[in-house]
Structure 1
């Protein structure tokens, strides 16, 4: 099952339409499969997709229990990325995805700092 979903997500990524896919149960494990297949450059795209989906409550992340469970399934950098995206979207509604590209860099290189910034922004307003 993971193999078929990995094939699907890899094809969507190659077409540049990954962001249109709704995450499903098990996609966290598919992330690992894609990384094994193609390496880190794919992982970065999939991580960004998962972080955005988690922040925006898309797909199976609509369910609060699934969002909570993601903490055990996703890396600290993906979780920090999602938390920071969620807070920035709350504070700056309508911010363009391109405007928030820096969040992935911060979350990847300094996940603890990104998480701390998200927590601080939660207190704002």
Structure 2
């Protein structure tokens, strides 16, 4: 059950939907959520930029990566964000 809740929260954070549409709420959530959940949300955000039509079920590997190594997942999300924006 917790895994499903974490996936839902990560997707809500990444998609900026519902309660998390407000930037102030997202910022406040960053202080309350676990490292792996925030890494999962960051990676989902960047993967959605690369494949806008991808569904959450197609991005399940992001949750496994975040649970296994949140720091590396966050690094990957940052790398993808830089690549997406054209920065080196």
**Are 2:61 and 1:102 equivalent residues in the alignment?**
yes
What pairs with 1:87-98 in structure 2 (closer than 5 Å)? 87-98=46-57
**Are 2:11 and 1:52 equivalent residues in the alignment?**
yes
Question: Which of the pair has the greater relative contact order for Cα pairs under 8 Å at 6+ separation?
Answer: 2
Count of matched residue positions in the alignment of Structure 1 and Structure 2 = 84
- Max radius of gyration: which structure? 1
Q: Tell me by how many angstroms 1:92 deviates.
A: 1.1
Residue deviations 1:21-75 (CA, integer Å, cap 9, x gap): xxxxxxxxxxxxxxxxxxxxx1111000000000001111000011111111100
Aligned twin of 1:43? 2
Give unmatched runs, 5+ long, in structure 2: none
Give unmatched runs, 5+ long, in structure 1: 1-41
Moved over 6 A (4+): none
Superposed CA RMSD in Å reads 0.8
Give the TM-score taking structure 2 as reference length: 0.91
